[in-house]
Amino acid sequence: MSDDKRERKPESNASLVVKLGFASLAMFGFGFAMVPLYDVFCEVTGISSSSTTTAAAEPVSLEPDYDRTVTVELASSLNQRDLWNFSAEETRMEVHPGKLYTTHYIAENLGAEERIGHAVPSVAPAGATRYVQKVECFCFEEQLFAGEESRRMPVLFYVDPELPSNIGTVTLSYSFYARDQVGEK
């Protein structure tokens, strides 16, 4: 090799190290920015984020709007491989915005062993998410079931009177998942 090529190589390596260092810092910074960016995206689009679907709504004193009726469809889904039954006790409710309602979901551990189940809620259409407020819900905590135990689990909720008038039907859905063993996270 010529002397010119040998002299440039250390400069190229140093330059590459600096560029890779900046790229690493940029990726690290982007990783930290993802959570706030996701929360902003969810707020702008109305899509549920973990902070809006897993916390209890603050109890409020609302004046029910008896002149308006909203249909709330209650849906359930279950991982087919799990040894559970899971369903909504009622599949449709006619509610007045601002009035508190209670409904129930039923879960049954079909296995002989103790198991933990967890429900993940969602609301559709996405624009209605912030207006369906759960005051009490089995989805706030994991549920421990004995072998072959069945349980009726409550959801205490209301539809905020500020729900846009063009939304007449809201679907409140829960997906129920099980962990393989008690104590596993």
What is the per-residue pLDDT across 97-131, written as a single tens digit (0 to 9) for each?
A: 999 999 999 999 999 999 998 898 999 999 999 99
pLDDT at position 94 over 60: yes
3-state helix, strand, coil in the chain (%, to 5): 30, 35, 35
Q: What is the pLDDT of residues 68-87, one digit of tens each?
A: 999 999 999 987 677 899 99
- pLDDT category of residue 10 using cuts at 50, 70 and 90: low
Spell out the residues 6+ positions from residue 185 whose beta carbon is closer than 8 angstroms to its own. Answer: 179
Task: Please give the model's pTM, rounded to 2 decimal places.
Answer: 0.65
